[in-house]
Chain A
């Protein structure tokens, strides 16, 4: 399975944008970039995913580098409820989700 690298932790102020980076230099052409988050004591929750183009949904935006070796999850206005561990996961054809260490996001009021 392809690997991803994320910062262990990040902090943000409430109502400010948050940019969560992910490096995946060994990504293959068929690997989708998925982002999930896990709030305390809850199951992982889907946030967004993409292949090559930037993606937007009601929760977040995903910016994918042109060479696909990195991506950034963008939360446009962080709220206290966005405090969670954010996982960047590559998933190729026939592969399962492999959770790495993720980024623990703290949101300060």
Chain B
């Protein structure tokens, strides 16, 4: 079965540079979520999109932005990178019939993109 595809898997950037991560959800999934996991930490929710509209926002820095495109893939753009942005970034997708997040919907996560800022 198709899974959530994230690219690139690894990315090395210098401080103050810009990075873009991409996420391709499972076909027919309409909701995409982004999480950040620092070293030794638990995944932290950043932002989510339903049907190309932002549906919820977590602890996403102002330097970060994201969007979901017409083909449902999503991109996380990170600017003015800092050393503390080094982390694993996970994308997840789910299918929310009628846009209803009932609490029962299950998320499928990708393998993650590892960002290293030097």
Listed in ascending order, the chain A residues whose CB lies under 8 Å from chain B are: 30-32, 34, 36, 38, 42-46, 49, 51, 87, 91-102
Contacts and interface: CB of A to CB of B under 8 A. Distances in A.
B111 A43 contact: yes
7 contacts: A32-B103, A36-B107, A38-B43, A42-B112, A43-B90, A95-B103, A96-B33
Contacts of A31: 103
Contacts of A94: 101, 103
B95 interface: no
A102 B42 CA distance: 8
A32 B45 CA distance: 18
Interface residues of B, number: 23
A38 B107 CA distance: 13
Contacts of A45: 109
Instruction: From B35, B103, B109, name the one whose CB has the most chain A CB atoms within 10 angstroms.
Output: B103
B102 interface: yes
A69 B90 CA distance: 30
B102 A93 contact: yes
B25 interface: no
A29 B4 CA distance: 31
B111 A44 contact: no
A90 B4 CA distance: 23
A92 B103 contact: yes
Nearest to A85: B42
Contact of A99 (B42, B48, B108): B42
A44 B103 contact: no
Contacts of A51: 104
Contact of A43 (B58, B101, B112): B112
A103 to B, nearest CB: 12
B56 interface: yes
Interface string B41-54: 01111001000000
